[in-house]
Chain A
Amino acid sequence: GAVVSQHPSRVICKSGTSVKIECRSLDFQATTMFWYRQFPKQSLMLMATSNEGSKATYEQGVEKDKFLINHASLTLSTLTVTSAHPEDSSFYICSARLPSGGALFNEQFFGPGTRLTVL
């Protein structure tokens, strides 16, 4: 099956610093990737849809200047949390979808997640 990786798996940073999280599709090309955030004991919330070569589409209430998304290649999307604060501490998860027409088109493949702690 398709594999999605995330790096780092865990990061602790000081308040005010920026943190970059990478999401890679290892064995397929993903024209579309998604970024989710999950707070403890809560469900996943979609933050943005990332399309290769174009600007990300952010969900309502998500600050695009705070959560910078770059999808520069078909196998890599990055999420940068700028000027992180303690309330940004969360579990960040990315997913990728096979291009239209693929046999597994309706599946999304999720990364293992990145746990961010902002002190």
Chain B
Amino acid sequence: DAKTTQPNSMESNEEEPVHLPCNHSTISGTDYIHWYRQLPSQGPEYVIHGLTSNVNNRMASLAIAEDRKSSTLILHRATLRDAAVYYCILLRGTASKLTFGTGTRLQVTL
């Protein structure tokens, strides 16, 4: 499976946008880019996924580089409830096994 690289931690002020980067230089053409997040003491939750085009949903936006070797999860206005570990995961085609890396721990402060 292609690997992803994320910063260990990031900080943001509340109400400000947050850009969480992910590098996946060995991504293949059939790899989807998935983002999950895990709030403290909870199971992970799905955030967003995409293949080539940028994607928006009610939680976040996903910006995918033209060469697909990197992507950025964008939280438009961070709140304290967005403090979590964010995982960027590549999923090949219809494969279902998620392999979690270390993710990025996002701290949101007032």
Contacts and interface: CB of A to CB of B under 8 A. Distances in A.
Main secondary structure of the interface of A (DSSP, over half): strand
A105 B32 CA distance: 13
Contact of A112 (B32, B43, B101): B43
A74 interface: no
B102 A43 contact: yes
A30 to B, nearest CB: 11
Contact of B91 (A44, A106, A113): A106
Contacts of B100: 36, 43-46
Contacts of A110: 43-45
A95 B103 contact: no
Contacts of B43: 4, 6, 93-95, 110-113
A72 B45 CA distance: 25
Contacts of A100: 94
A32 B98 CA distance: 13
A24 interface: no
A75 interface: no
Interface residues of B, number: 22
Interface string A98-119: 0010000111111111010000
Give the contact-size bracket for chain A. 20 to 34
Nearest to B91: A106
Given A43-B101, A43-B102, A108 B41 contact: no
B97 A46 contact: yes
A107 B91 CA distance: 11
A113 B98 contact: no
A108 B42 contact: no
A10 B45 CA distance: 20
A115 B43 CA distance: 11
A75 to B, nearest CB: 17
A47 B39 CA distance: 21
A89 interface: no
B99 interface: yes
Contact of A109 (B41, B46, B94, B101): B46
> Which residue, of A6, A95, A108, has the highest number of chain B Cβ atoms within 10 A?
A108
Nearest to B85: A43
